[in-house]
Amino acid sequence: MTNDNIERAHIAVAGAGYAGFSAALQLRKSAPNIKVTILDRRTDFLRVTHLHKTVYSSLKDWQIPFAELCKRNNFDFIEHDCNFDEKVLTEFNDSGKLNIRNTQYEFSALIVSTGFQSAIPSPPGVWDIERLSREDFHDFLKSIAAEQKPQEYVIVGAGPTGLQFLFELKAKAAAGSRISLVFLDKRPLSNYPASFSDYVLKKLEQSNIEVYAESKLISEENALFIEGKIKNQISRDAIVLFLTGVKPSPMLFSCDAFGRVLLKDQLLEKVFSAGDASKFSGNGLNAMTAQAAVRKGRLVAENIL
């Protein structure tokens, strides 16, 4: 953009997690007078990498209202579900207009950074990543702690998030509580070196955690079961955390090296993507981590300008 165009530009950021908010902050830093509008279905920014800490502290401790953040940085905020499909993005690229809550807005560019969702549909009644982001797990644990009796905890998924929750719960659970770890692979942290898995397995054994490798959680006739080499029914009172990984939401956007979205071989000049919902051409930025999301967000902001 030329300097005059930057002064008149209005950028929409759809989805304000780590990638989206990093992009917005970089836009403000590089072009102090640019207009930025944040769109998100939530009302609060969530530090999702700290979600496991809700075992012993309130969810609110890891949230900041978007209204407060936007006021601090001179952004506009509109609460809106940014579940944009290919048709909406193509039409925006042609017209520069988005229909938001029955009102048409004009933007110079759109950054889609809608993040992730659970990779596998969750059985009813479990705590998955969406529920943990929405409801206060700490308040729930406090309510059952008042009973002062052992509990059964089942953690499904042996990636970093599942293991973080497991060890936090182990430290907090009442004496005599039963804790199980269920995962599909042969070993925990299967995407990491074997030495990591060996260390985790040793810690699990020392902590008296029941390990169900090559197993999964299934729901049958309003009951939950661990299905593997054997099939065990889970107590109806068990607290089940379903943390089996995530996938891009609402879909994965293929992008060029600048973060511009490619749809059916058409390059959308006005539509960019960053974070877990995007896949850049080339290597180095496509890990589904907070660090990669922040780098993508900043890169896209610089490329827009």
Model pLDDT for residues 87-111, shown as the tens digit of each residue: 999 999 999 999 999 999 999 999 9
Cα–Cα distance for residue pair 105/83, rounded to 1 Å: 17
Say if CB 82 and CB 112 are below 8 A apart. yes
Residue 2 has pLDDT above 60, yes or no: no
* pLDDT band at residue 21 using 50, 70 and 90 as cut-offs: very high
CATH fourth-level superfamily of 121-244: FAD/NAD(P)-binding domain (3.50.50.60)
Pick the more confident residue, 37 or 118: 37
Which pair of structure tokens corresponds to residue 68?
């407060």
Angle between helices 290-304 and 18-30 in degrees, nearest 10: 40
C-alpha separations of 167 from 122, 250, 280 in Å: 22, 31, 34
Question: Span 187-208, mean pLDDT?
Answer: 95
Cα–Cα distance for residue pair 290/116, rounded to 1 Å: 12
Amino acid at 30: S
* Fold match between domain 3-117+247-304 and domain 121-244: yes
Bridge partners (DSSP) listed for residue 179: 153
Question: Span 39-51, mean pLDDT?
Answer: 95
- Fold of the domain built from segment(s) 3-117+247-304: FAD/NAD(P)-binding domain (3.50.50)
Question: Span 30-43, mean pLDDT?
Answer: 95
Token pair 């902001």: residue: 301
Identity of the highest mean pLDDT range in 3-7, 155-159, 230-234: 155-159
Residue 64 has pLDDT above 90, yes or no: yes
Residue 3 has pLDDT above 70, yes or no: no
Cα–Cα distance for residue pair 304/212, rounded to 1 Å: 48
Nearest to 54 by CA among 159, 118, 133: 133
For residue 180, report the phi and psi dihedrals to the nearest 5 degrees. -125, 145
Model pLDDT for residues 231-253, shown as the tens digit of each residue: 899 999 999 999 998 888 888 89
What mean pLDDT, rounded, does the chain reach? 93
Question: Span 267-293, mean pLDDT?
Answer: 88
Residue 30 has pLDDT above 80, yes or no: yes
Model pLDDT for residues 50-59, shown as the tens digit of each residue: 999 999 999 9
Question: Span 29-55, mean pLDDT?
Answer: 96
Give the burial class of 251: count Cβ atoms within 10 A of its Cβ; 0-12 exposed, 13-18 middle, 19 or more buried.
middle
* Domain residue ranges of the chain, discontinuous segments joined by +: 3-117+247-304, 121-244
Cα–Cα distance for residue pair 216/225, rounded to 1 Å: 8
Cα–Cα distance for residue pair 51/36, rounded to 1 Å: 28
Residue 284 has pLDDT above 80, yes or no: no
Question: Span 187-199, mean pLDDT?
Answer: 94
Q: Is the pTM of this model over 0.95?
A: no
Question: Span 250-275, mean pLDDT?
Answer: 93
Say if CB 78 and CB 38 are below 8 A apart. yes
Rounded percentage of the chain residues whose pLDDT exceeds 90:
79
